[in-house]
């Protein structure tokens, strides 16, 4: 009986240590600059929205979020072309380059409508000057109604599956008053845009965290020991393993290409037929999840080929 109790005690201890370890593995996630349309502020708004989502995701403490500077530097280095409208396929390609499990992307639109409230004489219905309640002297005023639309998606880099999709429409009004020919009011800047979009960003982030966490098992391992070829350029092979994956210059890898063998009736994956493409050796760690390698043997290396440590 004593021996049986010791056995169960040992199993319980293993479970106590195993559960926190698994829970402690954070999902690797990156955010692409949002596609934009609708106003002269579009370009800056796309960058700002990207930043707001990065900050919001970091605050959840649920993810290992790739820094904006790292992501932009990586995409520039690999000459990644970020199109006006980012698709799920484009996001998957970018995610593989960055070595992350999930990529957040989307589009943001902004438009304003201006309504003249008065052109001359008295302007009723607006808090007035001392002694003139409810009125302003000769001048004019206008009301700007701002409308924003924010669409956000998150994609599983491994499978290409859309994990999350959400759209929000937001409105805000701003008054601008001109008194006897002099202008008043506030110019539109990031503070104003943030006032419109930040509540939606926070709300969407909370919902997105719940959905992504529920699908954690289908995202692939954060440190599987295997990687993939993400770019082949001028005889150099880029793979999505780097500083945080425990690799180092001089490590040798075998590169395989294969296809899944599936059951024709159930579509269940039964196995994988792999063929050796060649061998590579790591030369430089270029990022947290990016390294460059020299070809030792083989030819025809392609994006998506699997690399396994020799």
Q: What is the pLDDT of residues 2-57, one digit of tens each?
A: 555 454 444 443 333 333 334 456 888 999 989 887 666 666 888 889 999 999 99
- The boundaries of the domain holding residue 196 are 26-113+146-219
Same-domain status, 245 and 101: no
Q: Is residue 139 domain-resident? A: no
pTM above 0.75, yes or no: no
Same-domain status, 79 and 156: yes
Q: List all residues 6 or more positions away from 209 whose beta carbon is below 8 Å from its beta carbon.
A: 60, 62
Residues 252, 279: contact at Cβ < 8 Å? yes
Same-domain status, 257 and 185: no
Percent of the chain, pLDDT > 70? 65
Same-domain status, 182 and 305: no
At 268, which CATH number?
2.40.10.410
Position 74 confidence tier, pLDDT thresholds 50, 70, 90? low
Same-domain status, 234 and 165: no
Same-domain status, 301 and 186: no
Of 179, 196, 219, the last residue of a domain is: 219
Number of domains making up the chain: 2
pLDDT of residue 256: 93
Of 219, 251, 271, the last residue of a domain is: 219
**Nearest one of 166, 165, 164 to 214, comparing CA atoms:** 164
Q: Is residue 1 domain-resident? A: no
Q: What is the pLDDT of residues 90-116, one digit of tens each?
A: 888 888 777 788 999 999 887 766 655
Q: Is residue 157 domain-resident? A: yes
Q: Is residue 42 domain-resident? A: yes
Dist. CA 32–CA 72, nearest whole Å: 9
Same-domain status, 40 and 164: yes
Same-domain status, 206 and 283: no
pLDDT of residue 13: 37
Same-domain status, 97 and 189: yes
DSSP string, 60-118: HTSEEEPPHHHHHHHHHHTT----SS--HHHHHHHHHHHT-SEEEEEEEEEEEEEEEEE
Q: What is the mean pLDDT of residues 281-309?
A: 90
pLDDT of residue 42: 64
Same-domain status, 179 and 270: no
């Amino acid at each position: 009986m004593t021996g049986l109790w010791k056995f169960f005690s040992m199993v319980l201890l293993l479970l106590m240590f195993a559960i926190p370890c698994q829970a402690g593995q954070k999902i690797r996630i990156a955010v692409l600059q949002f596609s934009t349309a609708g106003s002269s502020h579009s370009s800056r708004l796309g960058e700002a929205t990207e930043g707001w989502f990065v900050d919001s995701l970091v605050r959840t403490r649920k993810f290992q979020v790739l820094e904006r500077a790292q992501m932009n530097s990586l995409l520039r280095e690999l000459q990644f072309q970020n199109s006006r409208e980012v698709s799920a396929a484009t996001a998957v390609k970018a995610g593989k380059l960055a070595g992350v499990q999930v990529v957040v992307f989307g589009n943001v639109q902004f438009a304003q409508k201006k309504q003249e409230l008065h052109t001359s004489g008295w302007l009723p219905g607006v808090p007035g000057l001392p002694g003139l309640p409810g009125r302003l002297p000769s001048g004019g005023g206008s009301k700007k109604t701002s409308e924003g639309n924010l669409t956000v998606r998150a994609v599983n880099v491994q499978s290409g599956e859309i994990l999350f999709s959400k759209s929000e429409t937001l409105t805000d009004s701003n008054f601008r008053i001109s008194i006897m020919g002099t202008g008043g009011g506030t110019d539109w800047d990031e503070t104003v845009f943030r006032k419109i979009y930040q509540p939606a960003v926070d709300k969407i982030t909370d919902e997105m965290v719940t959905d992504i966490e529920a699908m954690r098992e289908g995202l692939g391992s954060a440190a599987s020991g295997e990687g993939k070829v993400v770019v082949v350029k001028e005889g150099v092979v880029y793979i999505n393993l780097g500083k945080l994956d425990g690799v180092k210059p001089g490590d040798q890898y075998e590169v395989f290409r294969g296809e899944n063998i599936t059951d024709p009736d159930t579509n269940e994956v039964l196995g994988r037929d792999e063929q050796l493409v060649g061998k590579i050796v790591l030369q430089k760690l270029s990022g947290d999840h990016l390294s460059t390698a020299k070809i030792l043997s083989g030819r025809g290396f392609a994006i998506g080929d699997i690399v396994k440590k020799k």
